[in-house]
Chains A and B, each alone.
Chain A
């Protein structure tokens, strides 16, 4: 049988002469790539045939700790579908009206061709270092695999109240079926693997499971509304389901509640988290979407198993945890939108 293969004639994939040692980001500027010989320069889109700014490696959306987990197979990097491929220019294009500024696409581009400028994701096309056109898609893919290991440093966008207000305005209007994808993709962006329950699968119950950079396994509940208590309840349920369905002990599971805004100080959530910790020795970690974005903008990792993210009635301050990771103060006002402290 004659099976036709992809047309190679128009393949425009680019590879650089060497593998860089670092890709450094500065807000509002294209990233700068550095080689071991001291050569530096900005690098634009390399015209991947399977663009990593758009699609995750399928292993990222699975969780090897529970191989049987019936996960969603959507590998889209952009949770809101704001990125698409411009066939004519052979580069990604971003609909900034849809974009929620999470930075997932910027971080997943292996060469740092995407960057924020004036709070909008731009695609750099100029290549200032030595390069050549790859002879085939396979050669290009092999180069990309090596390039993906290059460390990204710096800051892609500077956090501020204005930026967060803009982002949260969008997040507040977003459809509920996107909430889990936002949480999942942020965890993947922060060096975790994360498998999300399929949309409409009511039997799986938990929103997602993850495996952290330090190989700690956990369950995730994602809550964008005010009913944060449903997250802690859901987590207790999830742990029971994981125990009976997959034989995991509750001690092996690091639960994580991702919420749009931290629960208000007087809400029952914080006390219940404390109760659960006291009675069951289960530490439910809590983090806001905004805090995850701040970590992502600075190319940090998220290690949920770390006691760093355990907050409860006695301490609801997420700011100090984020500061400890990023090594500087966070430029978000106190209590602003419940991102780093409860709003009220």
Chain B
């Protein structure tokens, strides 16, 4: 199955990046991924963690290249642009550094409808095999976008994305039998979603790829077809008996296929069978026909075209040529045929991501709540929920279970707890820790917080996320903790102060703490409020310590907690 890289599929982004890149590197002999990264991020076309420019480069610059999000995204853009034929390897034997192609230069210098049509020509030019993708794991021989338009028409104009993987992304389009079988097999799948899912699962297994990876491979082809105006999204219930977002060919898509269907379609294999002179003529004709269809004025090369057409008359048979040499052949043969050479003058690239400022993202600090303060249990633990929990901790069946083990056991036990169980439990834990805490019944929209520590001067609203809502505390919980604080200050249902914390409690601390951490800091800086974050296991550990050893943490710390806190036995 064809694999398409997916750095981003918007037309505007593609053309803006290539134009910016051209401006940045046009004087250079060649350019590398670092130059691309610089050009892209400086112009705010790529972000890292919400930052752009130098900050984005710095934030994504990790020691491990594979985890450098900017570098990985730039690499994918480079592969897409190479697939379009806009850029090509400078050295025939290595993938990098790169140079612009003649087509790429025209893309960079065109505007408006011409640019859009040249983009479309670039997409139509994509075909496999070509002289760039020798290392690819797929073997399909196809002009994919011609094949998919044909498939769409033959399947009634509408397809579900997984049908792309099972069909046109996995066949040789010049093999009529294979094509007919593909249409037949998809037709047979239709009507039963399970049948499609089974076939898709079998495809994934055969490719040794995860379901999502195969699914993601459809994003770029679908995006490119939308950019060209060939397809649109449509909701369809009839294909598989349930409403699915499908792609539907547009009238323009049909017209495009009708136009290219009758063209002389040259692929790498047949190109190789011609003599050098004919090959050079086909390269020129392929190039100029793309330019002509895009609306560029090629009258200056009319004489060359006439001569080349005469030389290729037996091949063309009066038809228009469909052949992008830039997406098919190595640059040397293309440049020689056109007499236009790139990568021969200018200066060497100077930039390198390794020289960029290093990341200044800080690892979020976690305050340790030490369980050393004597703490007597006497805070109205009278609710049935409270009594049930105390039994679990102090019952005879767990008498000999070490506290640390008990914490782990209970932590696992509540992994599937819904809010109806979790909210009262959190309230109980705070009560054990010595706070007067009450919870709101789930669904009670009048009470905005999920629980509250009622204090004569410094009440604390608590936003709770049960493990079935979200396993790891997210940005959303922090937003709600801020809202709770503002509501409490406004409505004054409980007495508090601006300096007192607002809590978010969840099953686990956030996965990537830095974003939650930066939001907490931003809230403090902007509004002056402290948001504290506690995880369930820490609360369990603290409560069990109180119940078994009579020792808890310094309660005062909770009132002023900002950021993450944890406790363990």
Chosen A-B contacts, 14 in total, with CB atoms closer than 8 Å, are A9-B297, A68-B53, A73-B16, A84-B252, A173-B235, A175-B233, A199-B10, A205-B475, A229-B483, A236-B482, A240-B527, A244-B522, A272-B448, A279-B486
Give CA–CA (A13, B491) in the complex, Å: 63
Interface size on A, residues (CB 8 A): 54
Report which of B49, B114, B295 forms a contact with A203, defined as CB distance below 8 A.
Answer: B49
Give chain A residues whose Cβ lies under 8 Å from the Cβ of B252.
84
Contact A201 B47 (CB under 8 A): yes
Contact B296 A6 (CB under 8 A): yes
**Is A153 at the interface (CB under 8 A from chain B)?**
no
**Is B298 at the interface (CB under 8 A from chain A)?**
yes
Contact A280 B527 (CB under 8 A): yes
Contact B340 A275 (CB under 8 A): no
Selected interface stretch from B103-111, B173-181, B366-374, B380-388: B103-111
Contact B44 A70 (CB under 8 A): yes
Least CB separation from A7: chain B residue: B297
Contact A3 B106 (CB under 8 A): yes
Contact A237 B482 (CB under 8 A): yes
**Is A276 at the interface (CB under 8 A from chain B)?**
yes
Contact A6 B114 (CB under 8 A): yes
The digit string for B20-54, where 1 denotes a CB below 8 A from any CB of A, is 00000000000000000000000011111111110
Q: Which of A215-255 contact B (CB under 8 A)?
A: 229, 232-234, 236-237, 239-241, 243-245, 250
Give chain A residues whose Cβ lies under 8 Å from the Cβ of B56.
70
The chain A residues found within 8 Å of chain B, CB to CB, are 1-10, 49-50, 68-75, 81, 84-85, 98, 173, 175, 198-201, 203-205, 229, 232-234, 236-237, 239-241, 243-245, 250, 268, 272, 274-276, 278-280
Selected interface stretch from B85-93, B147-155, B203-211, B513-521: B513-521
Least CB separation from B498: chain A residue: A279
Contact B526 A69 (CB under 8 A): no
Given A3-B105, A198-B47, A203-B50, CB of A49 within 8 Å of CB of B483: no
- Beyond A2-B300, A74-B12, A236-B482, 6 additional contacts (C-beta under 8 Å) are A1-B105, A6-B296, A74-B10, A98-B232, A272-B483, A275-B491
Give chain A residues whose Cβ lies under 8 Å from the Cβ of B110.
6
Give chain A residues whose Cβ lies under 8 Å from the Cβ of B114.
6
Least CB separation from A266: chain B residue: B445
For the residues of B in contact with A, the DSSP-based class is: helix
Contact A240 B486 (CB under 8 A): no
Contact A5 B112 (CB under 8 A): no
Contact A240 B52 (CB under 8 A): no
Report which of A6, A69, A81, A279 forms a contact with B232, defined as CB distance below 8 A.
Answer: A81
**Is B497 at the interface (CB under 8 A from chain A)?**
no
Contact B522 A241 (CB under 8 A): yes
Contact A50 B111 (CB under 8 A): yes
Classify chain B: how many residues form its interface, as a range.
Answer: 35 or more
Q: Which of B287-328 contact A (CB under 8 A)?
A: 291, 295-298, 300-301
Contact A73 B12 (CB under 8 A): yes
**Is B113 at the interface (CB under 8 A from chain A)?**
yes
**Is B440 at the interface (CB under 8 A from chain A)?**
no
Contact B49 A236 (CB under 8 A): no
The digit string for B401-440, where 1 denotes a CB below 8 A from any CB of A, is 0000000000000000000000000000000000000000
Least CB separation from B233: chain A residue: A175
Contact A203 B483 (CB under 8 A): no
**Is B360 at the interface (CB under 8 A from chain A)?**
no
Give chain A residues whose Cβ lies under 8 Å from the Cβ of B476.
233
Give CA–CA (A239, B12) in the complex, Å: 28
Give chain B residues whose Cβ lies under 8 Å from the Cβ of A203.
47-51, 515
Report which of B235, B445, B515 forms a contact with A268, defined as CB distance below 8 A.
Answer: B445
Contact B297 A6 (CB under 8 A): yes
Contact B487 A241 (CB under 8 A): no
Give CA–CA (A278, B476) in the complex, Å: 23
Contact A236 B483 (CB under 8 A): yes
**Is B354 at the interface (CB under 8 A from chain A)?**
no
Give chain A residues whose Cβ lies under 8 Å from the Cβ of B10.
72-74, 199
Q: Which of B479-533 contact A (CB under 8 A)?
A: 479-480, 482-483, 486-487, 489-491, 515, 518-519, 521-523, 525-527
Nearest Cβ distance between residue B65 and chain A, in whole angstroms? 21
Report which of B105, B480, B518 forms a contact with A244, defined as CB distance below 8 A.
Answer: B518
**Is B343 at the interface (CB under 8 A from chain A)?**
no
Nearest Cβ distance between residue B73 and chain A, in whole angstroms? 11
Give chain A residues whose Cβ lies under 8 Å from the Cβ of B229.
84
Give chain A residues whose Cβ lies under 8 Å from the Cβ of B486.
236, 272, 275-276, 279-280
Given A68-B52, A203-B48, A237-B479, CB of A4 within 8 Å of CB of B106: yes
Nearest Cβ distance between residue B230 and chain A, in whole angstroms? 11
Give CA–CA (A233, B463) in the complex, Å: 13
**Is B139 at the interface (CB under 8 A from chain A)?**
no
Least CB separation from A8: chain B residue: B297
